[in-house]
Structure 1
Amino acid sequence: MTEITRDVVIVGAGPTGLRAAADLVAQGVTVAVLEARDRVGGRTWTDTVDGARLEVGGQWVSPDQDALLATLDELGLDTFDRYRAGESVYIAKSGELARFTGDIFPVAAETEAEIVRLIALLDELAAELDPDRPWEHPRAKELDSVTFEAWLAAETDDAEARDNIVCLSEGGKAQIDSARF
Structure 2
Amino acid sequence: MSLSTFPFPRLVQTWQRLLDAVVDLPVRVTATTGHALDSETLRAPPHVRLLAWSDRAELMPDASVVVTHGGHGTTLAALAHGVPVLVVPLDLSSDQPGIGRAVERAGVGISLRRGASVAAVRAALSKLIDDTETRRRARELGARLREYDGAVAGAEALIAALPPTHRATEPSAPG
TM-score interval for Structure 1 and Structure 2 normalised by the shorter chain: under 0.3
Q: Could you state the TM-score of these two structures normalised by the residue count of structure 2?
A: 0.23
The structure that is helix-richer by fraction is: 2
- Which one has more relative contact order, counting CA pairs under 8 Å at least 6 apart? 2
